[in-house]
Amino acid sequence: MTLPRTPSFRLEGKRALVTGASSGIGLGAAVALAEAGADVVAVARTLGPLSALCSAMAERGLRARPQTLDITDLEATAALVADLGPFDILVNSAGLARHSPALATTPEDYDAVTDLNVRAAYFLTRAVAQGLIAAGKPGSLINISSQMGHVGGIDRAVYCATKHALEGMTKSMAIEWGPQGIRVNTLCPTFIRTPLAEQTLAIPERRKWIEDKIKLGRVGEIEDIMGPVVFLASDASALMTGSSLIIDGGWTAD
């Protein structure tokens, strides 16, 4: 009998672009991909935190290069991807939240959140796909969405709108680029303990709402997304595209 073999989770020989890499989920993704063997280009707007990250990773023998970029600058983003690509893996973790009741939403907040969470994500993902198609290479493109891309939330009308849009964008791109072997998926965390999430977790009634909704009874940690990111990036998920990997402790189960 010939037994099947588990596809590899290893990423040696792969080049990965991780945005929003200076903190939180993006930082965890950069470390996880490098631990799996990938060469990582870590992107954020400011150099200091990126340099600290890449230095810490180098001390552990992990390969990462810091690169400053504001991905809402579409021309600069396209130029960077063309210059440093093609990238086998994209993890788009750059994101913004400005929570308020819908009746209090300002046009300025709406524009800032949608410009980064939807517009910039769209053209970044397209740029990486263009590079792969030109090189005749397959790839795995991962957009960090949210459980809020599947449900609604208190004071989160704009944020939820952007994450629902990201889910639809990802599905359509997956259909379009599937014939080229380019997979496009989302990873959808619940509240993960990051500097951004701490703004909400610091409010007692909001924290209670969160803990009541998460069936496993705890807020997520950065480590909770690291394995799923490697899974989506690797051959272990070779038949997954246009899908959402929901890491929410059971929030969306009911």
Question: End-to-end CA distance of the chain, in Å?
Answer: 43
* DSSP codes, 2-68: ----PPP---TT-EEEEESTTSHHHHHHHHHHHHTT-EEEEEES-HHHHHHHHHHHHHTT--EEEEE
163 tagged catalytic: yes
Catalytic residue among 110, 163, 208, 213: 163
Listed residue (14, 9, 7) closest to 141, CA to CA: 14
Please list the residues that pair with 182 across neighbouring strands: 139
CA-angle at 161, arms to 74 and 168, nearest 5°? 70
Amino acid (1-letter code) at residue 236? A
Catalytic residue among 137, 159, 208, 213: 159
Which residue bears the tokens 């994209």?
90
Among 230, 235, 241, 181, which residue's Cα sits nearest to residue 5? 235
122 given a catalytic annotation: no
Residues with a catalytic annotation lie at: 159, 163
